[in-house]
Structure 1
Amino acid sequence: MSNIRLIIEERAANIGNFMVGRLLPFREKRMVGPFAFIDHMGPTCMREYESLDVPPHPHIGLSTLTYLFEGSIMHKDSLGTEIEIQPGAVNWMTAGKGIVHSERTPDYLRVSDKMLHGLQIWVALPKELEEMEPSFAHVPESEIPVWEQDGVSIKLIAGEAFGKKSPVPVFSPLYFIEIKSQHAQQLTLGEDLFGESALYILEGQIKSEGNTYEPKQLLVAKDSKLCSFEIGENSTIYMFGGEPFPEERYIYWNFVSSDKMRIEKAKKDWVEQNFPDVPGETEFVPLPQGYKHLK
């Protein structure tokens, strides 16, 4: 019997002036463990007259994880953080009770052609931490655990797995793992995983129980303990998951919460501009039209 419970195809979504491929949430699977949202950005070549510009916008009840393969993003937030995200590093921003941030192409790249490619991820916070003070952590590529195992390269971007721990300060049991292989081979990784688990194919392919899966597919496992498959040559995949929360999470625009009324308050606070400002920014993303009250 197949251990693949669900296959999610990447779907086009517009995040302002930039198109992405959305993986989560999905109507049949809203979350995988604490992972509530995943966008695949690019790969996109932007000309000298094109730039990424996402003005200040709010979040509550989650941590964001930004991980780039190519390009660069300048991150600014209401804590006063101003830092350039480069490939291989991890930006981990925890919204808690409320944070505002912007994401833009750095000034020095606005006069030339540039690539942008990466993943943007939301990880829901445990219920008891949803109203924690916001925080920010930047972990350089040099501090992310990476090693060779069974003929593949493994990088533990966040969480714990394989007896190792990433320095990214997560708030619940989870894992986010990069696996690269130059050669086709069989892998069995289930004993090192826990909770709910999913696999995203960035490049190459995997084969499982006679089926071949290609890039832009997210495979959700029935049981993380039965995670065995053949990875193709020159393939890069991402495995992620963890312990699911006992309470349902509601997602509304940029807000995540176990309480519908908390989201309603966040919407009202944003419309009335009661969130903190991002230093040096004057623009903001308005609450989208058509967002009705949760029922």
Structure 2
Amino acid sequence: MSNIGLIIEERAASIGNFMVGRLLPFRQKRTVGPFAFIDHMGPATMQSGENLDVPPHPHIGLSTLTYLFDGAIMHRDSIGNEVEITPGAVNWMTAGRGVVHSERTPERLRDTKKVLHGMQIWVALPTAMEETESSFFHIPAEEIPAWEMHGIQTKLIAGEVFGKKSPVPVYSPLYLIELKSDKPQMFNPDGELYGESGLYILKGKVRIENYSFGPGKLLIAQNSRLCAFEMGPDTRVYLFGGEPFPERRYIDWNFVSSRRERLLQAKEDWVNRRFPEVPGESEFVPYPEFK
């Protein structure tokens, strides 16, 4: 019997003036462990004058994780942070009771040709932390644990597994792992994964049992402890998951909560401009009218 419980295809979605490939949430699988939302951004080549511009927008009840493969994004938030993220580093912003941020092409790149490629991820918070104070951490690329395992280049972007721990300050048991292979290699986690697990194929090919999968596929495991697979040459994948929460998480636009009424309150607060503002920003993303 295959350990593949579900196969999710990357789906096109818009985030303002930029198209992404959406992986989570999916109608048959809303979350994987605490991971509630994953977008694959690009790769997109933008000419001079073409830029990423996502004006200030709000979040509650989650942490955002931004990880770039190529390009740069300027992050500004209502806490007062203004940080440029570049490939290999991690931006980790915890919304808690409410935060607002913008994401734009840095000024130094706006009049040049550039490429943007990366991942935007939301991690739901434990119920006890859903209303915590907002916070932001930037972890440079050189501080992310990196090593070779089974002949595969491995990075622990966030969480704890394989006896290693990322400096990203997560709030529940989880893992986000980058795996790169130059030649065919077998990856076997030896039962060290836990909770729920997903495998996203960014590049190359993965073989599980008698099945072969290419880029743009998210594979959900039935048993995280049995996540062995063969990586093809020039392949890059992202293995993520962790312990699911006992309570269901609801999502409305940019808001995540274990309580539906909290989502309604967040909507009303945003519509009535009761969220904190991002210094130096005058635009904002209106609450969408869903059809």
TM range, smaller chain: over 0.9
**Pairwise CA distance, 1:187:** 1.6
**Pairwise CA distance, 1:190:** 4.6
1:203 corresponds to which letter in structure 2? K
The question of 1:181 aligning with 2:181 is answered yes
TM-score (norm 2): 0.99
| Other-structure match for 2:214 | 214
1:287 corresponds to which letter in structure 2? Y
Unaligned regions of 5+ residues in structure 2, if any?
none
Q: Quick one: distance in 1 between partners of 2:28 and 2:190?
A: 23
Q: Quick one: distance in 1 between partners of 2:257 and 2:103?
A: 23
Given that 1:190 and 1:224 are in contact with CA atoms closer than 8 Å, whether structure 2 keeps it comes out as: no
Q: Per-residue displacement from partner, 1:219-257 (whole Å, max 9, x unpaired)?
A: 000001111111101100000000000000000000000
Q: Quick one: distance in 2 between partners of 1:16 and 1:195?
A: 34
| Other-structure match for 2:250 | 250
Mean CA deviation greater in 188-197 or 23-32: 188-197
Given that 2:175 and 2:241 are in contact with CA atoms closer than 8 Å, whether structure 1 keeps it comes out as: yes
Given that 2:255 and 2:263 are in contact with CA atoms closer than 8 Å, whether structure 1 keeps it comes out as: yes
TM-score (norm 1): 0.98
1:115 corresponds to which letter in structure 2? V
1:7 corresponds to which letter in structure 2? I
Q: Per-residue displacement from partner, 1:92-129 (whole Å, max 9, x unpaired)?
A: 00000000000000001011100000000000000110
The question of 1:6 aligning with 2:24 is answered no
| Other-structure match for 1:144 | 144
2:213 corresponds to which letter in structure 1? Y
**Pairwise CA distance, 1:279:** 0.2
| Other-structure match for 1:273 | 273
Q: Quick one: distance in 2 between partners of 1:216 and 1:268?
A: 36
Given that 2:193 and 2:225 are in contact with CA atoms closer than 8 Å, whether structure 1 keeps it comes out as: yes
**Pairwise CA distance, 1:210:** 0.8
**Pairwise CA distance, 1:138:** 0.3
Given that 2:150 and 2:185 are in contact with CA atoms closer than 8 Å, whether structure 1 keeps it comes out as: no
1:87-106 to 2 correspondence within 5 Å? 87-106=87-106
2:250 corresponds to which letter in structure 1? Y
3-state SS of paired residue (1:263): helix
3-state SS of paired residue (2:191): helix
| Other-structure match for 2:80 | 80
| Other-structure match for 1:35 | 35
**Pairwise CA distance, 1:36:** 0.1
| Other-structure match for 2:225 | 225
Q: Per-residue displacement from partner, 1:240-287 (whole Å, max 9, x unpaired)?
A: 000000000000000000000000000000000000000000000000
The question of 1:199 aligning with 2:210 is answered no
Q: Quick one: distance in 2 between partners of 1:215 and 1:49?
A: 30
**Pairwise CA distance, 1:290:** 3.0
3-state SS of paired residue (1:191): coil
Given that 2:38 and 2:121 are in contact with CA atoms closer than 8 Å, whether structure 1 keeps it comes out as: yes
3-state SS of paired residue (2:69): strand
Q: Post-superposition, which runs of at least 4 consecutive aligned residues in structure 1 deviate over 4 A?
A: none
| Other-structure match for 2:51 | 51
Give the alignment's Cα RMSD to 1 decimal.
0.7
Q: Quick one: distance in 2 between partners of 1:32 and 1:262?
A: 22
Distance 1:157-1:7 versus aligned 2 partners, 3 A rule = same
Given that 2:150 and 2:186 are in contact with CA atoms closer than 8 Å, whether structure 1 keeps it comes out as: no
Q: Quick one: distance in 1 between partners of 2:41 and 2:174?
A: 22
**Pairwise CA distance, 1:135:** 0.2
**Pairwise CA distance, 1:150:** 1.3
Count of residues paired in the alignment: 291
Q: Quick one: distance in 2 between partners of 1:47 and 1:37?
A: 29
3-state SS of paired residue (1:137): strand
**Pairwise CA distance, 1:289:** 1.5
1:124 corresponds to which letter in structure 2? A
Q: Per-residue displacement from partner, 1:132-166 (whole Å, max 9, x unpaired)?
A: 00000000001000001111110000000110000
Task: State the identity as a percent.
Answer: 66
Unaligned regions of 5+ residues in structure 1, if any?
none
Q: Quick one: distance in 1 between partners of 2:214 and 2:134?
A: 38
Q: Quick one: distance in 2 between partners of 1:12 and 1:179?
A: 24
**Pairwise CA distance, 1:80:** 0.3
1:46 corresponds to which letter in structure 2? M
3-state SS of paired residue (1:282): coil
